[in-house]
Amino acid sequence: MNFSMEGLSTVLPEGLPTGMTKEFEESMKSALLVRQSFLELRDNFRRIVDPPMWPSDGKGPKVRKQIVLDGPVSCGKSIALAMLVHWARDEGWLVFYSPKGKEWTHGGFFYKNPETGLWDTPVQAAKILQDFLKCNESRL
């Protein structure tokens, strides 16, 4: 699957996963191999929003509403997720995407809300909400 960097920055303003940028640099192409795991994820979510009209005989693939991407380091989990987000946004879905979750827990500004006793990360929250608005403003 070929990408333009301009198109990726429009569809994924939150940023690209490290593995994806590394792949682009090493291959000197803005392209990724479409793996079977991505196609299965995409088809699963497609069946959730647009279930088949005919009754299932139980032999087809089971629809899963919650999915855990699991595997060893650098096996492609983040790339598969970014490709899924790209596909979903192209389909017109509203997608809340945080490619670098570590930014929410390491570094940055934190404070404890005296009323609730809970910790808050207002800078990180403002940034991700601005990115969400960039991608979805026309649909909100």
pLDDT digits (tens, 9 = 90+) for 1-29: 788 888 888 888 888 888 889 989 999 88
Q: How many domains does the chain have?
A: 1
In a domain, 135, yes or no: no
Give the Cα separation of 49 and 128 in Å (integer): 25
What tokens were used for 92?
């017109």
In a domain, 128, yes or no: no
Specify the pLDDT at position 88: 93
The predicted-structure confidence for 116-133, as pLDDT tens digits, reads as follows 999 888 888 888 899 899
String of b and e for 5-17 (b: at least 16 CB within 10 Å)? eeebeebbebbbb
Cross-strand pairs, 112? 119
Residue 65 — φ and ψ, nearest 5°? Answer: -85, -20
In a domain, 90, yes or no: yes
> Which residues form the domain of 47?
5-98
In a domain, 15, yes or no: yes
In a domain, 55, yes or no: yes
Give the Cα separation of 99 and 84 in Å (integer): 12
In a domain, 111, yes or no: no
Give pTM, 2 decimals. 0.79
20 within 8 A of 30, measured Cβ to Cβ: no
In a domain, 118, yes or no: no
